[in-house]
Structure 1
Amino acid sequence: MILKYIVERNNKYKTIREVLKNEFKISSRLLTKLRSNKKVLLNGFSTYFDKEINFNDIVEVYLNYEEDNSNIVPNNIPLDIIYEDESFIVINKPAGIAIHPSCLHYDNSLSNGVKYYFDKIGLKKKIRPVNRLDKDTSGLVIFAKNEYIQECLVRQMNSALFYKEYMAIVNGILEQKSGVIDVSIARKENSIIERCVSNDGENAVTLYEVLKSFDNLSLLKCILKTGRTHQIRVHCKFIGHPIIGDTLYGTKSDIISRQALHAYKVKFIHPLYNNTVEFCAPLPDDFRKIIENEI
């Protein structure tokens, strides 16, 4: 992958560094890595970042350098690939698989499967999931293929440019068919994992719409305006309609073996092509059977 900037007559930058930081918005950390790998060229030659640029100069950034990814063990795990290009790969994660390995479980995570796939296609890059899902939440996970793309997508996720839509099946019939849940979330005292509603927490906003009600259950479309840990799960509990199967914030379910939460859709600006891209992950079988009253 190559980023290219051609200096025009009305160019607003004086140096290569200004192009890298302001045009491409490359972080200081990545700039250091690019400099040490000599991956920034001016008119085809390695250069220093404070060099002044002139009309018709061509600044190129090469992101094809190899990285050590030996910290992740490759596992031949089937991947449901929704989309892939030179920038990122979008995967439909099944419930029951973690995104990251841990010190106690160093294999059989989604990252282990992506490492195996990268080895297979000859891509020696670190494994970089852009978004996170709980182990028992299914749906879309994006892996960036280099550090620059990761920075671009994370920056969008921290703004209003990144759209995230989930499907959830909750207990009960909601009186309001749509609404906004705007309550702050914090880590629960004396707990590493559990979160709770708290005035001292971080701002958290979820939009919801009831798509279907049946058998004292409701199918919700949830749109995240912020990205707090367990946000939808905590917010659903707060309004008195916990997600079914969520044993942390609700109770065990007889009709589904995990929390009924699915990352259904994402929409964002492609970091390279600057167009809007949208991806959807079909509802998994355990969801579909409940919705279609097959259980």
Structure 2
Amino acid sequence: MDKAYKILSLRENISNRKAKEMLDLGLVFSSGKKIRASDLISPKTPLKILSIEKPKVLFEDKFILAVSKPPFFDSYDLEKKFSNYKLLNRLDKHTSGVILLTRDDDFKDKVINEFKNELVYKEYLALAKGIIPQDLVIDRAILTTKGNYAKSKIDDKLGKKAITNITPLKLINKNTLLKVVIKTGRTHQIRLHLDSINHPILGDNIYGRVPFARLMLHSYKISLFDYEFCSDEGSFWKYLQD
């Protein structure tokens, strides 16, 4: 028996640091269970390693670049991949879907103003634990604290306005697939709001802590000005099939 990162390092012929990174991202499983870097495992333990998909360009013109971000991919790494472009919005590392960039400073200022005035349409898919039988509006203020990582909590006195609209689409193994629409964009808003009604998102390792292969949250559609972008849902459904 040895630490999982050491076993993975030897088996994949990679550095200990790279092995720890893969384990911390939640890419390594054994018998359906996510393996942590500190876990003790046998050298003979069967391991399944998920690969990180590549971002896909959905649309590009002189003002905007729309990309479908895969899960486990850091939003800020898109600025490295697409040089001279700056992010217009961000997604959590484990969230997939539409993300926007620009290299036009004037356009960036206009988009920031659209977000600030809640004029951007943002639609997500989420797989929530348990059965949600009807449409709901969750109107709870959110307070975010930032240290080594950001974490949010419901705080109706000190928090900022946050409204989440959810619509059940279908049941999947006694869990509910939701269409989620938000005007505000507080840190971890959808994750926290769904956890606040006791229906956390599958794979959320911060709120609700429901084990799954990935965080089952996908930015499906963004509309602003005369643009509308939709992301392929393949990276979302793939983990249900697995």
Relative to the length of structure 1, the TM-score reads 0.60
Is the aligned partner of 1:268 residue 2:224?
yes
The structure with the largest strand share of the pair is 2
Structure 1 distance, partners of 2:131, 2:79, is 38
**Residue among 111, 122, 135 paired with 2:79:** 111
Aligned match of 2:171: 213
Instruction: Describe the SS at the equivalent of 1:236.
Output: helix
Aligned match of 1:93: 69
Deviations 1:75-128 (A, max 9, x none): xx954100000001000000111112xxxxxxxx2221112xxxxxxxxx4x31
Deviations 1:241-274 (A, max 9, x none): 0000001002242xx42211110001110xxxxx
**Superposition map of 1:41-190 within 5 A:** 78-100=54-76, 109-115=77-83, 125=84, 127-175=85-133, 177-187=134-144
Structure 2 distance, partners of 1:191, 1:144, is 28
Aligned match of 1:247: 205
Q: Residue type matched to 2:120 in 1?
A: F
Which structure has more relative contact order (CA 8 Å, sep 6+)? It is 2
Aligned match of 1:7: none
Contact 2:70 2:235 (8 Å CA) reproduced = no
- How many positions carry a matched residue from both structures? 189
Relative to the length of structure 2, the TM-score reads 0.73
Structure 1's unaligned 5+ residue stretches are 1-76, 101-108, 116-124, 270-275
Q: Residue type matched to 1:135 in 2?
A: K
Q: Residue type matched to 1:96 in 2?
A: F
Contact 2:123 2:180 (8 Å CA) reproduced = yes
Structure 2's unaligned 5+ residue stretches are 1-52
Structure 2 distance, partners of 1:214, 1:181, is 22
Instruction: Describe the SS at the equivalent of 2:58.
Output: strand
Residues 191 and 288 of structure 1: is their aligned pair in 2 closer, same or farther, counting only changes over 3 Å? same
Structure 2 distance, partners of 1:188, 1:197, is 12
Where do 4+ consecutive residues of structure 1 move more than 4 Å? 188-192
Residues 214 and 79 of structure 1: is their aligned pair in 2 closer, same or farther, counting only changes over 3 Å? closer
Residues 234 and 191 of structure 1: is their aligned pair in 2 closer, same or farther, counting only changes over 3 Å? farther
Residue 179 of structure 1, CA deviation:
1.4
Structure 2 distance, partners of 1:285, 1:156, is 28
Residue 160 of structure 1, CA deviation:
3.3
Residue 218 of structure 1, CA deviation:
0.5
Contact 1:211 1:221 (8 Å CA) reproduced = yes
Query: Aligned-residue CA RMSD in angstroms?
Result: 2.0
Percent identity at matched positions? 31
